[in-house]
């Protein structure tokens, strides 16, 4: 079950964070189930061929984020999924909010393609293994500087293509409501820190003296199509030096 991990030594992402992401994927995909005991640190060192420090840091990240619980003399166990804040669900459109503040914005469309998504995306969108997805990559600039990157995944059986003029001038919220006449029945957002790969660093123009951590926002929109629930999934990467999220209640 834990035999397919491959450490990418040429990747700038720290070893422990690569291992953390691998274990997190196993947990979220259900390969490691709630209540299941995972091997001890020494066994994990031998299995993954990494140092004990790397193992400890990866487990520490999982524990901080609520995915495992560790007890002295008892072992390490997969726990319930962490509690998620609903505060961000109140935000209808970050693009519209920025514009309302009078900030000069510009949208750059980086890609619009039809793909056969990997298992992670299929699971997030509750799609079958042969499903196609329309993926759009869009960069938002504020005052001529990259602010955040959006990767939007649309079920291809509903969305064949979205006109470039809409993508450049409207938020996804307005595109769906005004152009496709779609009503979102449920919204869910998950915000967490992430270490960007080279692609994200280059697109967001993160400089060497800036923090190599971004705010990673996942958004799930559910809508009804011909009597069945469909999901639109977004991944958004916000440049830490130019963005901050404020939660109020």
pLDDT class of 84 with cuts at 50, 70, 90 = very low
Domain 15-78 has CATH 1.10.645.10: no
pLDDT tens track for 25-83:
888 888 888 889 999 999 999 999 999 999 988 898 887 667 888 776 778 888 855 54
Matching CATH topology for 15-78 and 87-242? no
The ranges assigned to domains in the chain are: 15-78, 87-242
Phi, psi of 235 (to 5 degrees): -115, 130
Cα(137)–Cα(27) distance, integer angstroms: 27
Q: What confidence tier does 214 reach under pLDDT thresholds 50, 70, 90?
A: confident
* Secondary structure (3-state) at 141: strand
DSSP annotation of 40 reads: P
pTM above 0.75, yes or no: no
* Cβ pair 107, 93 in contact under 8 A: no
Of the chain, the percentage scoring pLDDT greater than 70 comes to 83
**Could you give the CA distance from residue 182 to residue 199 in angstroms, rounded to a whole number?**
32
**CATH fourth-level superfamily of 87-242:** Chorismate lyase-like (3.40.1410.10)
Closest alpha carbon to 159 in 195, 114, 204, 202? 114
């Amino acid at each position: 079950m834990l035999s397919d991990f491959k450490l990418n030594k040429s990747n700038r992402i720290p070893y422990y964070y690569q291992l953390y992401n691998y274990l997190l994927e196993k947990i979220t995909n259900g390969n490691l189930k709630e209540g299941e005991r995972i091997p001890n640190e020494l066994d994990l060192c031998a299995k993954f061929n990494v140092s004990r420090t790397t193992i400890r840091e990866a487990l520490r990240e999982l524990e901080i984020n609520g995915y495992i619980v560790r007890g002295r003399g008892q072992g390490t166990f997969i726990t319930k999924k962490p509690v998620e804040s609903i505060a961000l669900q109140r935000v209808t459109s970050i693009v519209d909010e920025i514009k309302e503040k009078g900030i000069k914005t510009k949208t750059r469309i980086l890609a619009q393609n039809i793909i056969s998504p990997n298992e992670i995306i299929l699971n997030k969108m509750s799609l079958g293994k042969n499903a196609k997805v329309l993926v759009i990559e869009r960069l938002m600039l504020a005052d001529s500087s990259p602010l955040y990157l959006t990767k939007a995944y649309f079920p291809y059986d509903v969305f064949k293509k979205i006109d470039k003029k809409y993508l450049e001038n409207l938020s996804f919220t307005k595109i769906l409501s005004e152009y496709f006449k779609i009503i979102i029945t449920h919204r869910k957002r998950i915000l967490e820190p992430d270490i960007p790969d080279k692609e994200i660093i280059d697109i967001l123009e993160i400089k060497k003296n800036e923090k190599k951590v971004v705010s990673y926002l996942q958004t799930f929109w559910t809508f009804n199509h011909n009597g069945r629930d469909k999901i639109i999934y977004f991944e958004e990467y916000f440049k830490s030096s130019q963005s901050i999220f404020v939660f109020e209640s």
